[in-house]
Structure 1
C-alpha cells in the first residue's frame, strides 16, 4: 500500500491506495465526456430547428429567444450550487442525479404541446445540466493527477465543449428536416439510461465534505444574469432608454453587487472569491465568457441567415457547419500533442487570433458572397480557433486550485460558459439587426477575449516553461 507524497498547497492531486488501471481511467473519461457532450449538445441542437419549432408552436421571436435563454440561465446560474452539492454529497451521486433530471426534462421538451411548456421544460433541463456538468469536471480533476494525464483529459474535455455545439447544429438540422425537431431531445432518453447504468458501475465516488448550501448566493448568481439578459431582450424591443430596459439592467447590476457582498461574508460561499485571486484563472473566465458570447450569437444568426436569406433547409443549414466542425475536431485532437511543444496559453492566444479573423471575415458577407468563399472558409478559421482555445481555457480555469475547491472551480468554468452564451447572444440580438453586423459584433467580443488572454493568461506560459527546467535541474 503506497500513497502519493503530500501535494503543495493550491495544487489539485489525486491520492489513492491503489492507482486505477489505464482501462479503468479510460472508461471513467468516456463516461464523463459523454455526459458533458449531452449537456453541450443541447445548447445548440435546437438552433437549426427553430423555424420548424416556431411554425409548429406559434411562438413569437421574443418567446423563441427564451427557448435558448431559459436553458442557459438556469444552467449557468445554478451551476455553482450544483458544484457545491457535489462537494458535500459526492460527485458521482450528483452526476447520477443530474443526468436523471436532465434526461427526464429532455423527454418533457420533446413532448411539449405549447411554447410555455417548452420554455419551462428547457429551464428544468438547465437545472439538471447545472447538477451534471460540474460533477463531470470535478470527477475529471479527481481521477487524473496533474501532468500529462490531466493535460490529455482536459484537452478532450475542452474538445467536447467546442465540438458539441457544432455537432448539435448539424444533428439538429438533420433531425428537424428528416424527422422532427423533437427527436433531438427524445434521443436523450436511451442515451441517458445507458449512461446512468454505466456511471453507477464505473465512476468512483469522491469523499463527502461537511458543509452547508449557500442558497442566497446561488439565487443571486441566477437572478443577476437573468435580469441582465431580460434587459438586453427588452432593449431589442423598446430601445436602451426604455424604462423596462433600464430597470432590468439596473436590477441585474445590483443583484451581482449583492452577490459579491454576500459571498464575502458567507461561511461557505457557493462562489469562493479566492478563486479570482489568480490572474490566469480570471483571464480564463473573462476570455471564456466573451468567446462563448460571440459563438452563441454566431450559431444563432448564421443558422437563421442561411435559412431565411439564403433559402437553405434546416438540414442544409446544419451541414453548412460541417467544414467548421471537421476542422474543429481535427485541431482539438491535436492539442495534447501541440502542448508538448508549447504551452496552453500560447495555443489559446493563437486560437483566439484565428477566431477573430474568421468572425471579422464573416462580417463582410453580402448578398453576392458565395457560400464557399465568404462563409465556409471563414467558418474553418473559427473552427480552428475553437479547437485550439477550449482545452487551454479549461486547463487555465482550474489551474492551481486546491482540492477542496475543485467543485467550486469546475462550477465557475461551466457557469461562465453558459452565462456567457446567454448574455452574449442577447446582447448581440439587442445591438444588431443584420447578419453582417452580428458577425462584426461577435468579432469585437472575440477581440476583447484575446486582450484578456494576452494580458492575464499568457504570462503564465513563462511560468509553465520554467517549471520543467527546474525539475530537470
Structure 2
C-alpha cells in the first residue's frame, strides 16, 4: 500500500487527543472490570469457574487480533480502521452494560477486545506517520505512554468508585459517551487516507494462523491458575499454539504481501527487533508487578478497592516524570541509552519492592518509594520504545510494526502474569496468612526485577549503534537531497536514512 504521508505535525488539533483516548480506553478496560467481578457474578448468576472469563474474553480477543488489526490499518486505511474500531468498542461496551446473562456479558467483552485490537496499533501508526521525527513525535509518544499508564491505574480506582456508587453496569457503560465524543473528534481531526497505488490484498492464510496461534497461546497462559504448567491441558494448548505460530512464520516467509514481513525483525531493522524483545520482557515484569501490588495493598495491608486505586497515583506521577525526561533527552541520548537506563531503574524499583513487602508494611515504608522509582524508569521507556519499534519502517507498514509491538506487549503481560502467579504461589506455600502472602509477593517482585534487567541487557546487545532522534529541520535549513542522504547514511544506515529523508523533506 502506497499512501501520501504527511510527516509534519498534523493540522487537525483533535488528532492527538483522539489517539491518547484510544490508549487510555484500551488500558482502562483491561483493569476496570476486576473490582466489579463479584457484583457481576451475583447479579447475573455466574458460576465460580466462568466468572474469570469476563477478563479472559477481552484478553483473548485483544491478544489474538492485534497483528490483524495493525495490518488492516495499512490495507484499508488508518482513519477507517480507527473509526470502525471505535464503533465496535462502543457498541460492545453498551451491550455489556445491558447484558442479562453471563454469556451475553462474556460475548460483549470479547467484541470489546476485538475493537481494542483495531484501535491500539492504529494509534501508534498514526503518531508515526503524522508527527515528524524529533521533539513533536517524542512528545506525542510520551503522552501516548502516559495515557496507557493512567488508563490502567484509573481503571483500578474507577472500578471501585463506579461499582460502589452506581453499580457494576457503569464500568461498561462509562465507555459509551467517551467513545461517542472520540468518534466525533476523529471524523474531523484524523486526516483522510489517500491511496496512490493499487490496493494490496489481505494475507488471509497468515491472518487466520496468527489469530488462532495467538489466541490459543494466550488461552494456555491465562488458564495456568486452573491447569498446572505440567498438565496435559496446558502442554497440549501451548504445543498447539507453537505449531500454529510456526506455520504462520513458514507462510509469511513465502508471501509477497505478508501480514508480517519477517524482514522487520532482521539485522536491517535491529531497533525494531530490540524494541519488541524489550516490550515482551518489560511487560512480563511490569503487568505482573501491578497485579501483585494491588493484591498486597488489599490482602495484606487491608486497603479497600478505592484506597488501593488511590495508592497507584504516585505511580502515575512517576510515569509522567519519566516520560517528560525521555521526551526532552531522546534526541541527545538516543533510544538505546534511554531503554537501558529506564529498564534498570524500573528493575531497581521492583527489587526495592521485593525487599520492603512484608506483613507489617505501610504505604510510606513499603509502597511509595518503590512505586516512584519503578514508575520513573518505566515512564522513560515509552518514547524510545515507540520510536525504535517503527524506526526505518516504510510508512505503508507502520500498522504492521505497531501491531507487532502491541502483540509483544500483550503476550509479555500474559506470559509474565502466568509465570509469576506460579512463583508467588510456590513461595507462599499452603498457609494464606498475611506473612505468607507477603513472602510470595516479594518473590514475584524479585522475578519482575530480573525480567527488566534482562530487557535492558537485551537492548544493549541487540539495538546496535546509538541512533538519536533527529530534530526536524526548518524549511530554510533543509539541505539538498544528496547532502541529506550522505549525512544520514553515516549515522543511521540505509533503512533509517529513508525514513529521515522523508521526514525532513515533508
When normalised by structure 1's length, the TM-score is 0.88
> What's the counterpart of residue 381 of structure 1?
373
Deviation at residue 463 of structure 1 after TM alignment: 6.6
Q: Does 1:438 align with 2:456?
A: no
> What's the counterpart of residue 257 of structure 1?
246
- For residues 464 and 335 of structure 1, do their structure 2 counterparts lie closer, same or farther at Cα, with a shift above 3 Å needed? closer
Match of 2:182 among 182, 195, 201: 195
State which drifts further: 444-453 or 347-356: 444-453
> What's the counterpart of residue 110 of structure 1?
97
**Structure-to-structure mapping, 1:137-176, within 5 angstroms:** 137-176=124-163
Match of 1:71 among 58, 79, 87: 58
Bigger radius of gyration among the two: 2
> What's the counterpart of residue 460 of structure 1?
465
The SS at the match of 2:194 is: coil
> What's the counterpart of residue 224 of structure 1?
213
Deviation at residue 161 of structure 1 after TM alignment: 2.8
Q: Does 1:287 align with 2:278?
A: yes
Deviation at residue 190 of structure 1 after TM alignment: 0.8
Deviation at residue 443 of structure 1 after TM alignment: 2.1
> What's the counterpart of residue 229 of structure 2?
240
Separation in 2, partners of 1:345, 1:180: 46
Separation in 2, partners of 1:122, 1:194: 21
Separation in 2, partners of 1:199, 1:276: 32
- For residues 119 and 447 of structure 1, do their structure 2 counterparts lie closer, same or farther at Cα, with a shift above 3 Å needed? farther
Deviation at residue 367 of structure 1 after TM alignment: 0.6
The SS at the match of 1:460 is: coil
Deviation at residue 170 of structure 1 after TM alignment: 2.6
* Contact 1:76–1:417 (CA under 8 A) maintained in structure 2: no
* Contact 2:14–2:186 (CA under 8 A) maintained in structure 1: no
**Structure-to-structure mapping, 1:362-373, within 5 angstroms:** 362-364=353-355, 365-373=357-365
Deviation at residue 245 of structure 1 after TM alignment: 1.7
> What's the counterpart of residue 298 of structure 1?
289
> What's the counterpart of residue 419 of structure 1?
411
* Contact 2:94–2:176 (CA under 8 A) maintained in structure 1: yes
Separation in 2, partners of 1:438, 1:64: 25
Deviation at residue 460 of structure 1 after TM alignment: 3.4
Q: Does 1:211 align with 2:217?
A: no
> Unpaired runs of 5+ in structure 2?
426-439, 471-486, 493-506
Deviation at residue 319 of structure 1 after TM alignment: 0.6
- For residues 85 and 228 of structure 1, do their structure 2 counterparts lie closer, same or farther at Cα, with a shift above 3 Å needed? closer
- For residues 65 and 276 of structure 1, do their structure 2 counterparts lie closer, same or farther at Cα, with a shift above 3 Å needed? farther
> What's the counterpart of residue 27 of structure 2?
40
Separation in 1, partners of 2:35, 2:458: 31
- For residues 377 and 52 of structure 1, do their structure 2 counterparts lie closer, same or farther at Cα, with a shift above 3 Å needed? farther
* Contact 1:229–1:426 (CA under 8 A) maintained in structure 2: no
> Unpaired runs of 5+ in structure 1?
1-11
Deviation at residue 304 of structure 1 after TM alignment: 2.8
Separation in 2, partners of 1:415, 1:384: 24
> What's the counterpart of residue 92 of structure 1?
79
Q: Does 1:353 align with 2:344?
A: yes
**Structure-to-structure mapping, 1:388-407, within 5 angstroms:** 388-407=380-399
Separation in 2, partners of 1:135, 1:348: 23
Separation in 1, partners of 2:144, 2:254: 34
Deviation at residue 259 of structure 1 after TM alignment: 1.3
State which drifts further: 297-306 or 126-135: 297-306
> What's the counterpart of residue 501 of structure 2?
none
* Contact 1:158–1:392 (CA under 8 A) maintained in structure 2: no
RMSD: 2.7
Separation in 2, partners of 1:250, 1:336: 42
**Structure-to-structure mapping, 1:124-135, within 5 angstroms:** 124-135=111-122
Deviation at residue 61 of structure 1 after TM alignment: 6.7
When normalised by structure 2's length, the TM-score is 0.82
The SS at the match of 2:200 is: coil
Match of 2:321 among 326, 330, 349: 330
